[in-house]
Structure 1
Amino acid sequence: MKIIKLNAIDSTNSYLKQLAKETFLQEETVVLTNRQLSGRGQMGNKWLSREGQSLTFSMFKAFEKLQIEQQFMISMVVSLAIVKALKSLNVPKVTIKWPNDILSANTKIGGILIENVLESSFVKYSIIGIGLNVNETDFPNLPQASSMKLETGKTFQLEEVLDTILKNVFKNLKNISEKDFSEMKQLYENNLFRKERISVFETSEGSQINGIIKGVSDIGELLVETENNPLQKFQLKEVKLIY
């Protein structure tokens, strides 16, 4: 594993993606920054972090024979690895809020942004960005945000948290093309936030609907049972879980 530490940068994902284009990267290269100026989340959202209190880093992972139609496996494996890592650090009630938010109880403590580079019919490599609120205690105007410290009452060593997550993620990503897709999907669904509970969703048109999360499709669509439809499939930009 090779870790590149930077004092400040716009986005670790953007930096690592550019680095991968310009040079041959050692397997399991990680870019870590103390201060991320323009962190990116899903759907163009910003990821805010505080220097010395949170972790913002990106991981490079190349693949062999991982087909394009299997790329949701990367998202599932990474999410589950982070859940396992946080549980080992005694963070309570860790779940995955579809598709890639990490929650403790009902509050968001982390997020994942995965950018896949494709070649022919395969995934060549992934840039996996992770933002994690570790020791922050103040989230003005963000009522659904929290941190590991707020949820546990414990101050964490950033290096220990980083090491635990990196080891879990890279271990889970090894031989990913040989993993049982159905088994991973079942594990992912078992850890889904608000699965089998009535929830409120906002559609891309701005309307709100009630529904029950039943799981995910093989390509990562959210499966929601609504009053008027036994099962609807939603892609990333089509629906937002309000809670």
Structure 2
Amino acid sequence: MKIIKLDAINSTNSFLKELCRDYALENFTIAVTNEQTNGRGQQSNTWESEPFKNLTASIFITELHLDIINIKYLSFTASLAVYDLLSDYNIPNISIKWPNDIMSANKKLCGILVDNRIKNQEINSCIVGFGLNVNQEKFPEYLDNATSLTNLTNLNYNLDDLLTALVSKMENRIQQLTLKDFIKLEEDYLDVLYRIETPSLFKDKNGVLFMGIIKGISDFGNLLVELEGEIIAEFGIKEISFV
């Protein structure tokens, strides 16, 4: 494990992507920064973070040899690693909101971005970026669903200790992935999936509201929702959101 500490960077994921173009990075090379100026989220979203307050880091992982058809298990792996970490710290009401946001009750604690390197229908390496709200107490008004570990527990946390613990949890879950223990990964993921088997109000990409019940994840990583008449519909990222 090699840790690269940066004072400020636009994005730790982007930094590692550029670095691995020029160098053969060792497995579990980590980039961590005090300030991320242009953090990236899913589907070109941005991730905002107060400097020196939160854990903003990315991990380069190689030698995966994961068939592209099993890509959803990599997302499960990353989100479960954070779930495992927060469970050890006794953070309350933790769940995973599909595909890989980490929630406490209805508030977002952590965003995860996975960048894959695919060759010959196989994922050999990836970069997993984590933006975990830790000691930040106030958030912009438009982030009204955000919270932090400090807000939840009234404690302050050492960011280096959290990173070390997170890497350990990620190593454990990656071992499951490389051993192709897909059944256990999916069981663990569904056990803590946000609002699974709970009637919920959704909005589709056209703004239409509808009721549904999350039933699971498809083979392609899409969300399976039971609609009226016991019809199971499949939704991709940005095709559905909670209301």
Report the TM-score when normalising by structure 1: 0.96
Tell me the equivalent position of 2:214: 213
Identity %: 40
Q: For 1:180-205, what per-residue CA distance to the aligned partner results, in whole angstroms no more than 9, with x for missing partners?
A: 21221121111101111111212111
Tell me the equivalent position of 2:16: 16
Q: How far, CA to CA, are the matches of 2:57 and 2:221 in structure 1?
A: 24
Runs (4 or more) in structure 1 with deviation over 6 Å come to none
> Contact 1:90 / 1:152 at 8 angstroms: preserved in 2?
no
Q: Gaps (5+ residues) in structure 2?
A: none
What's the CA shift for 1:218?
A: 2.2
Amino acid at match of 2:219: D
Q: How far, CA to CA, are the matches of 1:127 and 1:186 in structure 2?
A: 24
Q: How far, CA to CA, are the matches of 2:182 and 2:87 in structure 1?
A: 23
Q: How far, CA to CA, are the matches of 1:87 and 1:238 in structure 2?
A: 30
Amino acid at match of 1:112: I
Tell me the equivalent position of 2:104: 104
Tell me the equivalent position of 1:57: 57
Residue 145 (structure 1) aligned with residue 146 (structure 2): yes
Residue 39 (structure 1) aligned with residue 24 (structure 2): no
Task: State the SS of the aligned residue for 2:212.
Answer: strand
Tell me the equivalent position of 2:27: 27
Q: How far, CA to CA, are the matches of 2:162 and 2:195 in structure 1?
A: 26
What's the CA shift for 1:36?
A: 0.4
Q: How far, CA to CA, are the matches of 1:43 and 1:64 in structure 2?
A: 23
Tell me the equivalent position of 2:122: 122
Residue 173 (structure 1) aligned with residue 169 (structure 2): no
Tell me the equivalent position of 2:187: 186
Tell me the equivalent position of 1:230: 231
What's the CA shift for 1:81?
A: 1.2
Q: 1:99 to 1:64 in 2, by over 3 A?
A: closer
Q: Gaps (5+ residues) in structure 1?
A: none
Q: How far, CA to CA, are the matches of 1:175 and 1:119 in structure 2?
A: 22
What's the CA shift for 1:175?
A: 5.5
> Contact 1:97 / 1:193 at 8 angstroms: preserved in 2?
yes
Amino acid at match of 1:89: Y
Q: How many aligned residue pairs are there? A: 242
Amino acid at match of 2:94: V
Q: 1:175 to 1:229 in 2, by over 3 A?
A: closer
Amino acid at match of 2:193: L
Task: State the SS of the aligned residue for 1:174.
Answer: helix
- Bigger drift between 214-223 and 23-32 goes to 214-223
Q: For 1:199-224, what per-residue CA distance to the aligned partner results, in whole angstroms no more than 9, with x for missing partners?
A: 12121112121111111112211010
What's the CA shift for 1:164?
A: 0.9
> Contact 2:71 / 2:221 at 8 angstroms: preserved in 1?
no
- Bigger drift between 169-178 and 96-105 goes to 169-178
Q: How far, CA to CA, are the matches of 1:18 and 1:209 in structure 2?
A: 42
Amino acid at match of 2:222: E
